[in-house]
Amino acid sequence: MASITIRNLDDEVKELLRRLAAENDRSMEEQARVMIRAAVDGQIGPGRIDQIEKTLRELTSVHGAATPAGAPAGKTFPRGALSGRRILLIIGGGIAAYKALDLIRRLRERGAAVRVVMTAAAQEFVTTLSVGALSADHVFTELFDRKDEHDVGHIRLSREADLLVVAPATADLMAKLANGHANDLASTLLIATDKPVLMAPAMNPRMWAHPATRRNRATLQKDGIAFVGPARGEMAESNEAGEGRMAEPLEIVAAIEAQLDVSPKPLSGRKIIVTSGPTHEPIDPVRYIANRSSGKQGHAIAAALARLGADVRLVSGPVSIADPTGVKTIHVERAQEMRDAVEQLLPADAAVFVAAVADWRTENSAGEKIKKVAVEGPPVLRMVENPDILAGVGHHRQRPTLVVGFAAETQDLLHNAEAKLRKKGADFIVANDVSQGSGVGPSGVMGGDRNRVRIVSKAGVEEWPEMGKDEVAARLAALIAERLKTIVV
């Protein structure tokens, strides 16, 4: 017979066993034996079977024993990407609370231990019974519950997790945390924790658009709270559409994995240069020639590459967005400065040229502000060509293994992208149509949040559907990782 070593159980199972043992005034070993006996005899009811099964599997897998009798055949506890991670899920009182059930299932499928707290309002939408059955744990609902406070305590509850996830995050929960309220279990845990917090807001589009909610979200973001969603689309209430729909469970899982940094790191040890934003070419000390590039796409690509483990050096023109986290950013103004910064960063494994570099600059920018002199009329600006940074690196003696260029065109997109590929020595060109009629959002590609691109390489043209710039970035980063893996130098 396999022996039982309580020490080898994972913390969650140990905690469960400790609680049950205390409830029954038994030692933990004795409690485990009773549970195994009960499972073998088929005495365990459906409400508890998940908890018991988990315990049994932990107990037996340590010693390699066979599946215990009574455990459903073929059902195993997965050891997935979130194995050993502890999530404290706070379910708020919104219609999307039903999606939290699927979220629990998805998290447990990946090996996470999920402990759940439900607000009073959440219990109007889903029951503690279904949540408890899916999480295979006690569901916490009360701040002033003597037994819960004695067994776990609200401070421990908030700190024993690796991550707190609020899904759905109601307007009310956001407001409470933004303003430091702590008048129920959920809000108290959120303010008492020393762990990261991820919120998945879900609410009516008008609630989401309300200045108070916007303010609260900005405050929470400033306080370091991460967000996933909400998305735009049909609401669960009839005849309502707009922004406010909770992110789908799998998107929340992806955000949790990103927060816990469990994603694979195929680019670890790779140095990648990215350029982003516009350049400003001075006319005089106060005037310059610029373009509409916001830097959103380039910054998103830098962040996505960093998430895959790359050592990213971002050379950014003047933008109004924040430097991406986990990326070393060098700020420049002019094309010549950008070229110099890029060349100084060589050698690198890859370079991605997303910046909208001005093709021309004024031959001589004036040292003083050019005065408006009526008799002389408007000044004539003589332009000269700027360095071609992509071509320079594409043909450089220290050329990175992979060189990627962007082609923003308003006409003849593919023809221009193919010509650019040949001329500039790039491995592929990401071509985007930046014309007004590109069909991408009201503000178009430049400055907007969406993009539709084609990947032009010697192998042909791959068309990607329209998507968010973050998604384009993630796909491109994955493609770069794939290409770097297969290129042998």
Ligand X SMILES: Cc1cc2nc3c(=O)[nH]c(=O)nc-3n(C[C@H](O)[C@H](O)[C@H](O)COP(=O)(O)O)c2cc1C
Catalytic machinery residues: 291
CB of 186 to ligand X, least distance (A): 6
Q: Which of 332, 437, 325, 344 is nearest to 398 (CA)?
A: 344
Measured between its terminal Cα atoms, the distance across the chain in Å is 56
Question: How many other CB atoms are there within 10 angstroms of residue 324's CB atom?
Answer: 25
Least gap, CB of 85 to ligand X (angstroms): 25
Residue 213 is a binding residue for ligand X (CB under 6 A): no
Cα of 110 vs its chain's centroid, Å: 17
Which of residues 162, 172, 427, 470 is near ligand X by CB under 6 A?
A: 172
Regarding 229 and contact with ligand X (CB under 6 A), the answer is no
Q: Is 485 among the annotated ligand-binding positions?
A: no
C-alpha 462/C-alpha 443 separation (Å) is 25
> By CB under 6 A, is residue 202 in contact with ligand X?
yes
72 is in an annotated binding site: no
Query: Tokens 């309300």, residue?
Result: 210
- How far is it, in rounded angstroms, from Cα 447 to Cα 28? 61
Separation of alpha carbons 459 and 144, rounded Å: 65
Cross-strand pairs, 405 = 353, 429
Residue 119 touching ligand X (CB under 6 A): yes
The yes or no reply on residue 230 touching ligand X (CB under 6 A) is no
Residue in the shown chain whose Cβ atom is closest to ligand X = 94
125 annotated as a binding-site residue: no
Q: Do the annotations mark residue 369 as ligand-binding? A: yes
Rg over alpha carbons for the chain, rounded to the nearest Å, is: 28
- Give how many residues touch ligand X by CB under 6 A: 15
147 is in an annotated binding site: no
Considering only residues 36, 101, 114, 171, which one is a binding residue for ligand X as defined by CB under 6 A?
171
For residue 35, state whether it binds ligand X (rule: CB under 6 A).
no
Q: How far is the CB of 94 from ligand X (least distance, A)?
A: 3
Among 121, 192, 262, 330, binds ligand X (CB under 6 A): 121
Q: How far is the CB of 158 from ligand X (least distance, A)?
A: 16
Interface residue with ligand X, options 39, 117, 122, 260 (CB under 6 A): 122
Q: 123, 143, 137, 152: which is closest to 186 by C-alpha? A: 143
Stretch that binds ligand X, among 17-25, 165-173, 352-360, 436-444 (CB under 6 A): 165-173
Q: Which stretch binds ligand X (CB under 6 A): 89-97, 270-278, 312-320, 398-406?
A: 89-97
| Distance of alpha carbon 278 from alpha carbon 296, whole angstroms | 11
95, 143, 226, 321: which one binds ligand X (CB under 6 A): 95
Nearer to ligand X, 119 or 193 (CB): 119
Q: What is the maximum alpha-carbon separation in the chain?
A: 105
**Cβ proximity to ligand X, 188 vs 279, nearer residue:** 188
CB of 449 to ligand X, least distance (A): 24
Check whether 353 is labelled as a binding-site residue.
Answer: no
Distance CA 140, CA 123 (A): 11
Decide whether 99 or 361 has the Cβ nearer to ligand X. Answer: 99
According to DSSP, the residues that pair with 314 across neighbouring strands are 274, 329
User: Closest separation between CB of residue 201 and ligand X, Å?
Assistant: 8
Q: Does 403 bind ligand X (CB under 6 A)?
A: no
Q: Is the dihedral of CA 254, 256, 258, 262 positive or negative?
A: negative
Decide whether 71 or 173 has the Cβ nearer to ligand X: 173
CB of 174 to ligand X, least distance (A): 8
173 in contact with ligand X (CB under 6 A): yes
Can residue 21 be called a binding residue for ligand X (CB under 6 A)?
no
Of residues 171 and 225, the one with the C-beta less far from ligand X: 171
* CB closer to ligand X, 119 vs 291: 119
Instruction: Identify which range of 67-75, 127-135, 171-179, 445-453 contacts ligand X by CB under 6 A.
Output: 171-179
Question: Is residue 185 a contact point for ligand X (CB under 6 A)?
Answer: no
CA distance to 269, 348, 350, 487, per residue, from 393 (Å) = 21, 11, 10, 18
What does the block give as tokens for 203?
Answer: 């609410």
Residue span binding ligand X (CB under 6 A) among the ranges 168-176, 333-341, 351-359, 480-488 = 168-176
Binding residues (CB under 6 A) for ligand X: these are 92-96, 119, 121-122, 170-173, 202-203, 207
Binding residues: 359, 369, 387-390, 406, 420, 424
Annotated binding-site residues for CTP read 359, 369, 387-390, 406, 420, 424
